[in-house]
Amino acid sequence: MSDVVEKTLTALPSLLSLDSQPGSAKLSSTAKLGNLIRGITELTSKHEEEKLIQHELASIKEQVSSPNTTMRQMRELMVRAVYCEMLGYEASFSYIHAIKLAQQGNVLEKRVGYLAVSLFLNESHELLLLLVNTVLKDLQSTNLIEVCMALTVVCQIFPKDMIPVILPIVEEKLNHPKEIIRRKAVLALHKFYLIAPNQVQHIHNKFRKALCDKDPGVMTASLHIYLQLIQENAEAYKDLTASFVTILKQVVGGKLPMDFNYHSVPAPWLQIQLLRILSLLGKNDQRTSEVMYEVLDESLRRAEMNHNITYAILYECVKCVYTIHPKSELLEKAAKCIGNFVLSPKINLKYLGLKALTYVVQQDPKLALQHQMTIIECLDHSDVIIKRETLELLFRITNAQNVTVIVEKMLDFLRLSKDDHMTIDIVGKVAELAEKYPFKHYSTMNAVFSLGGDMMQPEIPNGFLKLLSEGFDSEEEDRKLRLFAVSSYISLLQGEPSKLPQRFLQVICWVLGEYSFLKEDLEPSVVLGLLTKLLDMKSSSSETKSWVLVAMTKLCWSEAAVSEAQQVAETYSSSFDTTLRQRAQELQHLSRDSQLHSRVLPPGGRLEPDEVVDSSLSFLDGFVSEALSAGAAPYKPLHQRQEELSRSKVLSLEPYGLSLPISTSSCSITDRQSPTLLSTSSGLSGDGTDFSHRGSSTTLRLDGVKRVWGREGYLAQKKPVEEVAQVEVPSPLRSPSQQGDANSCRSKTPTPTANPECDQEKQQLASSLFGGLSSQSSVCLISGAAKMVNIQRFRRKAKGQRSSSTTNEQRANPTVSSASAVDNLLCNNLLEADTEPINSSAKQTFQHPHSLSVANGACDAEAILTDGDPKERNQPLSSEDFVEADDSPPREDQERSKDSCLTPHLPAELSGFSHSEIIPLCSSQSLDLSACHVQTDNSVVLVVFITNTSEDANLQIQVFCVCESPVEEVRGRSVSVRQYSLTVKMPLVHFELVGMLSYSIPAGMPQAMMQFSYKLPLTSFIRPLTVSTEEYGSMWLAFSHDTKQNLTLIKEEREPLTATLNALNKKLSLHVVEIIGVEGLVACSLLQDQPCLMHCRVHAGRLAVWLRSPVPDLPDCLLYHCQRALQEP
């Protein structure tokens, strides 16, 4: 023993001097990093730090690029580089070395390499591709630690398009004997599911296996995936409810190994995950909910220890109990739990209590009543977060009686708030309340505008202006309100307008422009003077200035005003801002020509509602066609222009020969379309994105414009509140005895120790806040809310009746988002009626012409249509297709009763081709509409059969399916056939055609409308493409959009590849170019002339396909159909 010691001691000095020895590397490495860190902490200024780090980075750079650096040193260098990056200095030179370290190092170095890679690189970084091979190698390694590291890095950072490469290996790992590997593999698949859900669709049954894994850790990991899946589609997993309940029972019962305990609570993370899954499964489903009552009860009972983690479980339990189908006993227990939370002195629990109250209060407002004193205390809490949460709660219990107090409290909060997000949120809430309970509307909104500043959502001022212009129920009130608004705004402007936020100024401008005539003693020139002051203000944005100019335009009808206006117009007609310049021009022209002015902007009034705005600008049609025939280029919508522009910037990878020829037919559609877009853009002064301008546009009136952006978008948020308010409260909670309790409890609440004066104040506040709740109990709240909703609805309806039926539908459906009005208008019903999930959410909307609405005399609908347009242009999903009008004369034959008997009605020229089943689309008492599609060699023709089932009456019908067909008469008991040829502009998995039929019985009577939709798959548009292998080769290189995937091979003994390709040929009509060994070349084209090539290779019992096309999305869509075709027997 002493021998050893002696040896060591003598060796010591010599050892310490050997710096390059491996053993001492540890010392030096820590020392170097340590030196760096210490050096930094000693520095006093930021500048010095920068200098030091730059120096450090330079030395790291030098060392990493030196060939003599060993992997071990590299590891240490990487750690230092990571540290420098953490301090915010870029060390991009080391990225490639990090990858190299992960590739070549031993296990430990690899670990650092992977860590550095995951810290350095971004998911889209190009160097990441270099990592794929390393990960692949490590995944297949026999060393467990290497496999673990590879799975970890895959979870952290992995290029999305490379997932198919490693997917099979990760899948294999699900069967690994080590549970840690299985668990990591499950988590990696979860990650894949999140970033590329369609890639892992085929392994859903393997998830089930993971759920049944004997190791609880693997099972827990699989729950992450299940939570995600159930969130998306709860129906599909109802059968697993019993299993989840059993698992939870076992966990709660302490059946898991001690390892899973956390502060002696069994597997809390697992418990909470299960509770969340159960609440999703049991939502609105009594039968499923019944299965879980028992275990929920047990969970509530067991979790009684005084520790954060048990409270976490309790909180989740409570949420679950209130989400699933209610059971009174459980609700009672949950309510008690919430009470404990709210009353807890711990601030975190109080916060959660408020959250829980907010969550349940719509079902059980009585609960808020019980805790009213606590709530009021929280309202004055020193912590902003608690305050905000309380306001959120109050917002949910607002009714007609307490709204004033609540809004006041919110405004108080706004005055003190410094946080932008909170301000935006609360401003939105106040505005919502103000709109819902309009009696204090005007003054509240003024406060909102001045407090909310420029951060608030643009819908709020839009909604306010709209409400003001539409008015409430009585004319007189409206007039008073507007008058009041005008005079108060005038006085605001006379004060210090430079302090007001821009948005408020814009509102003021609009109101003054529109309504200042109401105030008779007010000279327009005075208003103009005030407005000019705004223009001269430095702080005014150019947007505000254009609002000012528009307001001036409206005002310049008196002599004095005109001269002033012209002066202003003079100044701004040479502005650099195009919008401003246009406004100035408008002002100039209109102020000169008083006749024109009074025609465009009638003094003291608004456009009569029956005055129809021809938004399609059909009066320009002649001009346009003349220009076209004279050789002018057809109008291209904005998105198309941008696309072309961006395309011209990058290298063109597409071959010239095959690029899509612009057919004359598509010319005609653009030319149909152009007037609309023209009108929008002119109304917008070329600035298509800025909708707020629109409110003041002189050519397009406001009515329709704001409707989409202001109100409807707003309603989408409001809907849940209203809906829940109407939910029936479970009967036991409404029993009168409990109400009595609640009331008496309220009177007892004041604590005797508190200062009596302050207490009284609080009492008062309480009675004003909870007045609506306590006096008539919950019933009152509900009926109150319902009443409000009714009023709102009624108001909306009353307006809507003027417009067409379509508009009515649109408005009665407040869930509609404001995304695209056109879409909504057409797809609303479809979406509701369509229970079958539309695959890949692909939907193609056929936009019917704007003249449709004109034909209806619905100016509202048309305004929405125009408005939706610019938005829609940005939406890739809704592309308009072109349908050629039919030239063939409609054939009329005697009707036979069965639908299948419609076949003979198929036009003769189509009878040679195969047609799909004739599907009835819609019918009314006198009319049946059926359709099928026919695939010819170079087109797809949609054939619509319109059958008049009534005995005698003659029908006058008109079908809109992008283009309108001539009005025609269909005699009684006869069939009219229409043909539309379809072309695809953008590939989608399924297309949905939407059209509208308007008809009148008998001819000349008011028209009735029918909407119909027709679905057809992409495959209808796919035709074989006959090319030689050489051509194939050159085309392959030219295409830029591609996708790869593994497909199942058809099981056949001898030649599985040939069999599979033949199947594809038969089902999807793909042309097999050549089969070489294990590889196959397949080609097809999408009508017209949009080729897609497919390269297939048999690999490991599967078919690896690689699709390429010049058309984006086409490979993906086609792949979907290939997958489907091969899965079907």
Partner 1 sequence: MMRFLLLFSRQGKLRLQKWFTPITEREKKKIIRDMTTLVLARQPRSCNFLQWKDLKIIYKRYASLYFCLAVENQENELLALEVIHRYVELLDKYFGNVCELDIIFNFEKAYFILDEFLMGGEIQETSKQMVNRSIEASDMLQEVRCTGTNAHPDLNHTRSIVISHVVFICLFAGVGILKRLGFWCFTKQ
Binding window for partner 1 (CB under 8 A); candidates: 261-269, 556-564, 660-668, 1060-1068: 261-269
Of the pair 152, 618, the CB lying nearest partner 1 is at: 152
**For residues 92-151, which are near partner 1 according to CB under 8 A?**
106-108, 111-112, 115, 119, 122-124, 145, 148
Total residue length of the chain? 1129
Concatenated DSSP letters of 149-196: HHHHHHHH---GGGHHHHHHHHHHGGG-SSHHHHHHHHHHHHHHHHH-
Integer-rounded Cα radius of gyration of the chain: 36
Q: Is 382 in the site for partner 1 (CB under 8 A)?
A: yes
Concatenated DSSP letters of 788-857: HHHHHHHHHHHHHTTS-HHHHHHHH-TT--SS-HHHHHHHHHHHHH--SPPGGG---PPPPPTHHHHHHT
Of the pair 323, 958, the CB lying nearest partner 1 is at: 323
Q: Which of 84, 117, 174, 188 binds partner 1 (CB under 8 A)?
A: 188
Q: How far is the CB of 229 from partner 1 (least distance, A)?
A: 14
Q: How far is the CB of 378 from partner 1 (least distance, A)?
A: 11
Of the pair 382, 747, the CB lying nearest partner 1 is at: 382
Q: How far is the CB of 311 from partner 1 (least distance, A)?
A: 6
304 in Cβ contact with 264 (< 8 Å): no
823 in Cβ contact with 970 (< 8 Å): no
Phi and psi for 11 in degrees, rounded to 5? -75, -20
Query: What whole-number distance in Å separates Cα of residue 302 and Cα of residue 337?
Result: 13
Binding window for partner 1 (CB under 8 A); candidates: 60-68, 186-194, 942-950, 963-971: 186-194
Of the pair 118, 813, the CB lying nearest partner 1 is at: 118
Q: How far is the CB of 276 from partner 1 (least distance, A)?
A: 8
585 in Cβ contact with 568 (< 8 Å): no
Q: Which of 95, 244, 311, 395 binds partner 1 (CB under 8 A)?
A: 311
Q: Which of 213, 316, 564, 928 binds partner 1 (CB under 8 A)?
A: 316
**For residues 574-633, which are near partner 1 according to CB under 8 A?**
none
The token pair at 407 is 């809004």
**For residues 518-557, which are near partner 1 according to CB under 8 A?**
none
Q: How far is the CB of 22 from partner 1 (least distance, A)?
A: 6
Q: Which of 130, 171, 237, 269 binds partner 1 (CB under 8 A)?
A: 269
Q: Is 182 in the site for partner 1 (CB under 8 A)?
A: no
Q: How far is the CB of 447 from partner 1 (least distance, A)?
A: 23
Q: Is 22 in the site for partner 1 (CB under 8 A)?
A: yes
- Cα angle, residue 982 at apex, residues 980 and 988 outer, rounded to 5°: 145
Q: Is 221 in the site for partner 1 (CB under 8 A)?
A: yes
872 in Cβ contact with 878 (< 8 Å): yes
Q: How far is the CB of 228 from partner 1 (least distance, A)?
A: 9
Q: How many CA atoms lie within 13 A of 1095 on its CB side?
A: 13
Of the pair 383, 690, the CB lying nearest partner 1 is at: 383
Q: Is 1125 in the site for partner 1 (CB under 8 A)?
A: no
Site residue total, partner 1 (CB under 8 A):
78
- For the chain, count helices (H), then strands (E): 47, 17
Binding window for partner 1 (CB under 8 A); candidates: 83-91, 244-252, 981-989, 1036-1044: 83-91
**For residues 1069-1088, which are near partner 1 according to CB under 8 A?**
none
Please state, in angstroms and as integers, the Cα–Cα distance from residue 781 to each residue in 400, 771, 776, following that order: 9, 10, 8
Binding window for partner 1 (CB under 8 A); candidates: 14-22, 238-246, 618-626, 839-847: 14-22
Q: How far is the CB of 696 from partner 1 (least distance, A)?
A: 32
Of the pair 157, 337, the CB lying nearest partner 1 is at: 157
- What SS3 state is found at 886? coil
Concatenated DSSP letters of 1015-1034: EEEGGGGEEE----HHHHHH
Residue-wise burial string across 538-549, b where 16 or more C-beta atoms lie within 10 A, e elsewhere: eebeebbbbbbb
Q: Is 10 in the site for partner 1 (CB under 8 A)?
A: no
Query: What whole-number distance in Å separates Cα of residue 246 and Cα of residue 1063?
Result: 45
Of the pair 341, 714, the CB lying nearest partner 1 is at: 341
Of the pair 392, 969, the CB lying nearest partner 1 is at: 392
113 in Cβ contact with 99 (< 8 Å): yes
Query: What whole-number distance in Å separates Cα of residue 138 and Cα of residue 104?
Result: 11
Q: Is 190 in the site for partner 1 (CB under 8 A)?
A: yes
Q: How far is the CB of 85 from partner 1 (least distance, A)?
A: 10
Angle between helices 216-232 and 179-195 (to 10 degrees): 10
**For residues 274-303, which are near partner 1 according to CB under 8 A?**
276
Q: How far is the CB of 672 from partner 1 (least distance, A)?
A: 42
Q: Is 23 in the site for partner 1 (CB under 8 A)?
A: yes
The token pair at 552 is 């001036």
Of the pair 105, 849, the CB lying nearest partner 1 is at: 105
**For residues 461-490, which are near partner 1 according to CB under 8 A?**
none
Q: How far is the CB of 819 from partner 1 (least distance, A)?
A: 18
Residue 16 identity: L
Binding window for partner 1 (CB under 8 A); candidates: 308-316, 364-372, 822-830, 902-910: 308-316
Of the pair 22, 1006, the CB lying nearest partner 1 is at: 22
With tokens 């949009």, the residue in question is 1090
Q: Is 268 in the site for partner 1 (CB under 8 A)?
A: yes
With tokens 């005895």, the residue in question is 737
Cβ atoms < 10 Å from Cβ of 575: 17
Query: What whole-number distance in Å separates Cα of residue 222 and Cα of residue 188?
Result: 10
Q: Which of 61, 224, 519, 533 binds partner 1 (CB under 8 A)?
A: 224
Please state, in angstroms and as integers, the Cα–Cα distance from residue 538 to each residue in 276, 284, 498, 566, following that order: 55, 57, 8, 21
- What SS3 state is found at 508? helix
Residue-wise burial string across 621-649, b where 16 or more C-beta atoms lie within 10 A, e elsewhere: eeebeeebeeeeebbebbeeeeeeeeeee
Of the pair 396, 746, the CB lying nearest partner 1 is at: 396
Q: Is 216 in the site for partner 1 (CB under 8 A)?
A: no
Of the pair 119, 830, the CB lying nearest partner 1 is at: 119
Query: What is the per-residue binding string for partner 1 in 338-377, x denoting contact by CB under 8 A?
Result: ---------xx-xxx--x----------------------
Of the pair 191, 799, the CB lying nearest partner 1 is at: 191
669 in Cβ contact with 880 (< 8 Å): yes
**For residues 50-79, which are near partner 1 according to CB under 8 A?**
79
Q: Is 162 in the site for partner 1 (CB under 8 A)?
A: no
Q: Which of 69, 103, 156, 1062 binds partner 1 (CB under 8 A)?
A: 156
- Which residues lie closer than 8 Å to 700 by C-beta, 6 or more apart? 613, 615, 679, 680, 683, 694, 863, 866
**For residues 383-422, which are near partner 1 according to CB under 8 A?**
383, 385-386, 388, 421-422
Cβ atoms < 10 Å from Cβ of 936: 16
Binding window for partner 1 (CB under 8 A); candidates: 185-193, 766-774, 783-791, 1050-1058: 185-193
CA 120 to chain centre: 30
- Which residues lie closer than 8 Å to 41 by C-beta, 6 or more apart? none
Q: How far is the CB of 347 from partner 1 (least distance, A)?
A: 4
Q: How far is the CB of 294 from partner 1 (least distance, A)?
A: 23
